[in-house]
Structure 1
Amino acid sequence: MASSLDDGQIIIKNDWYQSETHIILAILGKHLSKEDCFIVFNKDELTIKSKFATGQSYTLNLKLSKNIVPERCSFKLLSSKLEILLAKTNAERWDVLERPLCKPNENSKCQGRNWDKLVNDMTKDDTEEDVNSLFRKIYLEGSDEVRKAMNKSFVESNGTVLSTNWKDVANDKVEIKPPEGMEWKAWNK
């Protein structure tokens, strides 16, 4: 299973396989820490809330096609993925991970899972917070010149320009450049 978003957010890839005793579900990508993974095992459902190392959070709720033994389930945080081990109630093979959203005799009324909605729900996060985190990281990890350029450009442009190149902003005042289609006005006028 692979999912992606059109708005530039990261791609989330999930995969699963099985042994005689377990279903192994992998959510690929570097995750923050085990403390940032909230996983609830129910006999016929799995709920995951976690964060990628980028800070992007996601939620996944699966209605399992067969029952599991919650007290024998576990998860591991590996360098490249979150691996979830679901203990089978018996050694039978699972054809699908999720149960159908309707009964077989209701096919005409049945709607499949909306994968676009699922991806959006999994990656729902405050984009502004992500951008602020990126700028904070650039500022904290940057050289003195990068920090000076960011401060000078932001202050002199009234928040409309953010430069990390000191050579570009060192000698002249940074002009106010509002986004295209917008007009800058002083707050007190």
Structure 2
Amino acid sequence: MDLSEQITQLEADVQELDSLLETAERKRVQDLLKEELKRVEKELTTKRQQKEQQARREANPPAAPKAAYTVKITSYAWDQSEKFVKIYLALKNVHKIPSENVEVNFTQRSFSVLVKDLDGKNHQMTVHNLLYPIDEKDSYKKVKTDMVLIMCKKQSAKKWDCLTTVEKQSKEKDKPSMDESADPSEGLMSMLKKIYAEGDDEMKRTINKAWSESQEKKKYGDDTMHF
């Protein structure tokens, strides 16, 4: 029975109780009828209010929530202990959303993070090719004030030089190469040129000073560069 039918039935009950009350002669009967009339009138008022609220909802349906778009998390920090590699993700107000909105999944060589509906956006990060395997069952997340902490459990207690094998390969690629058949002094000069080109002002001043001193020493038979 919907609200309209319930209201119709209660209105009929009120009319009949009014009619009975008019014809009742004994006080006890009158009191009983009055009490029942009050109860039915109260219930009728409640049903009418519910009917009005229902009508307002149907006339003004709530706006559909806007679909959240997804952004990539590109900034993070990491450090390590003997047992864990720790990744820090700074996300303002992340501690204010439901904990189930922060999802982290682990495999032996990767982890992925999805933070849903934070300030109208989803925040996502995936890291593949971890430097060493992790124990996904004992890895976990912590949600702190304005931060998500990813705890990757090491399978072996060895120090990580970087987070991923890709970073390691990149670092190795950037190292100056040394040709064993080449003149050692030429290799040293190539390395110094690279350090000079990439160094800051202080580094450049140090190299210039060492170079000047080495040229002076060459006049006296000492061709070693001293730093």
Which category of TM-score, normalised to the shorter sequence, fits these structures? Answer: 0.3 to 0.5
TM-score when normalising by structure 1:
0.46
Report which of the two has the higher share of helix: 2
More contact order relative to length (CA 8 Å, sep ≥ 6): 1
